[in-house]
Amino acid sequence: MAALKAPQLKFDRESLKLYATRTAIFGIGGGFILGVLAFTYAYFTVSIPDPKAFVNTQSTIIQYADGSEIGRIGAENRQIVKLADIPLQVRRAVLAAEDRNFYNESAVSPTGMARAIFNDLRGGSLQGGSTITQQYAKTAFLNSGQTISRKIKEIVIAMKLQGQMSKDQILENYLNTIYFGRGSYGIQTASQVYFNRTVNQLNVSQAAVLASILNGPGYYDPYYGAANALRLHNRWAYVLDQMEKAKWITARQRANMKFPTLAPHVTAGTLSGPRGYVVSWVEHELANLGFSDQQLQTGGYVIKTTIDKTAEQAAIDAVNKGLPDSTKIPDLRIGLVSIRPGSGEILALYGGKDYLVSQLNGATQAIAQAGSSFKPFTLVAALEAGIPLSSVWNGSSPQVFDDAGKPYPVFNYNQEQYGNISLIKATAESVNTIYVPLGIKAGPDKVLDVARRAGIPANVALMPTPSISLGVASPHVIDLAAAYATFAAQGIYAKPYIIKEVIGNNSGVLYQSSVQAQQVFQPDVMADLTTALQAVTQYGTASQSVAGLGRPSAGKTGTTTNNASAWFNGYTPQMATTVGMFRNDATLSLNGLGGLPSVTGGTFPAKIWALYTKAALAGQPVVQFPPAANIGGTAAQSMIGAVPTLDPSLAITASPAPTRAPVKVKSTPLTIKKK
């Protein structure tokens, strides 16, 4: 029986061609059906908010504690105007640039969309092909992503908008929402930013510039270079040509058009000047509370802060008056934070001269060594250990102490010799050779613990070594202000905060602050600490700058090696304020600033503090500090002027350093100056 043979299949060219044609038709047809199904699904599932909700949403407003406005945050620097108040030629300039057939076409341009999708299939970005209705839909209701699904939503929303709104309404909303660059949203704000005039004062040439910028604000803004300026000029000419083609201007008018002069791109607006640092810190804290950037830009929130308007202006004025000549050190940083004791409310915050020049906040972000600002932590640890202010110590200089088996030489500022003096006198004069052994006696670990309880956060590195008493750590200004506010509140630490309340647009209170406070030190310890720190402002290192304040004050100066940073931390019963001064490179000296050969904490920082405190508390009652508790049983003030005697029980083993330069050791100590 013969074997069966498999049939031989033969394909000629015509058969192959027919097969390919059928496959393509089925593929296109299937793709078309899927596309129709996807679009139908999107049309019935994609909903839009109230079309006017976005355009009527205003910037988030930040307020002082009294309800007056500090500034606005978010990108929506916008003022809404009615279409009737926008000149016809301004509207026509925008139509000429973006969508000349707007009034005669559908919400979606099929040919434009085809070009955009074809570009996407080729690997390009999904862009172009948008009518003004589509642009408004994208701006108001969608993110800026370039995906097919986002484009489908744009088409659906545009079509639904067309069914709900007239062309005039769509154009009005578009002109009030579109971004023009330089932080301006909407035609009214753009007119003011670029030409220092309102929209109804624009001429055709100026309107053509604004219409040109819409195509790419950063790409056409001449502020960013000559190439941008050339592109803008060419785009401006194109817009005018389109207006002539549409017979909106005559050929003669077109020929006589001259390119207008733009307003300079200046550092002005909400974030300019010192208030920019306040606004930026509010944004930072709102983010920590869970408010997104998009919410702040479009939510129309009202942010009530703790900032006292009088105190904030007093801070700005104090820096300007207290620092007459800062030009010799152009990279100078100054930070000031003032806190209400017991509540943690930030009453004033000064982070720098102009936020738009430098965004590093000198009050909350910059760091520098604290110097003798840390000595009160050592004093508290000593008082908690029962060491009284009346105890007597050896203030000769230099002395060498033991630091984990290594010699640790310590010097007083200018090698000053004090002999045997009381602890309160050592505080007033900021004697290093007394405070190092005091910290050793109390325990460096105890000093570290006091600093943490007072308010120095965990992100500030601290080491339990003898040098901790001399402030080798580098905190922020706000950290020290919080710690000294704890002292002013008689031992109650309150977490600093700047946001009191967030009010939503027609949705009531979204957030309300609460005081986070706890007693971390005993009142008797705080009473003696304040007694010692009053000596600093009465007859110590800050007395000359603080004289004339007219109310009780306490505080501590701080200056580091080579006068690289200078601090004053002071308080009254109503207010605690820290002023820090340093350079961008916090290791470089401040000497020479304002003509002073030696800049210390008792000079400009203490002077600024006094100017600020006097102005901020003007008209408020004079409040006294609690009297000294006299831990240890002897009144410290009685030791001033008396012949002191060292207490052997407090002695710390130390040896005089040689008069020649100290021997270098592997761990070179930092010499912290007292002033």
Domain edges within the chain: 73-255, 337-380+422-431+447-629
Measured CA to CA, the distance from residue 655 to residue 675 in angstroms comes to 25
* Run of H or E residues at 264: none
Q: How does 122-155 read in b/e, with b if 16+ C-beta sit within 10 Å? A: eeeebeebbbbbbbbbbbbbeeeeeeeeebbbbb
Residue 664 is predicted with a pLDDT of: 33
Return the SS3 of 646: coil
Rounded distance between C-alpha atoms, residue 516 and residue 98, angstroms: 54
Helical ranges in 166-291 per DSSP H = 167-177, 187-195, 204-213, 217-220, 226-245, 251-255, 275-288
Residue 270: its pLDDT value, please?
Answer: 59
Q: Residue 21: count other Cβ atoms within 10 Å of its Cβ.
A: 10
Pairing of strands 332-339, 399-403: unpaired
pLDDT at 147: 52
| Calpha distance 203→194 (Å, rounded) | 13
Which residues are marked as active site? 98, 372
Q: What is the pTM of this model?
A: 0.70
- What is the model's pLDDT at position 218? 81
What is the separation of C-alpha 659 from the centre of its chain, rounded to a whole number of angstroms? 48
pLDDT at 59: 74
> What CATH number matches the domain at 73-255, 3.40.630.20, 1.10.3810.10, 1.20.120.1200, 3.40.50.1360?
1.10.3810.10
Beta strand 508-512 with 420-422 is unpaired
Please name every residue paired with 525 in a beta bridge, in sequence order, or none if there are none. Answer: none
Which of 608, 341, 353, 560 minimizes the C-alpha distance to 455? 341
Which of the residues in the chain have pLDDT under 70?
A: 1-58, 74-78, 106-129, 139-154, 266-270, 294, 298, 325-328, 636-644, 651, 653-675
CATH of 337-380+422-431+447-629, one of 2.160.20.60, 3.40.710.10, 3.40.50.1010, 3.40.250.10: 3.40.710.10
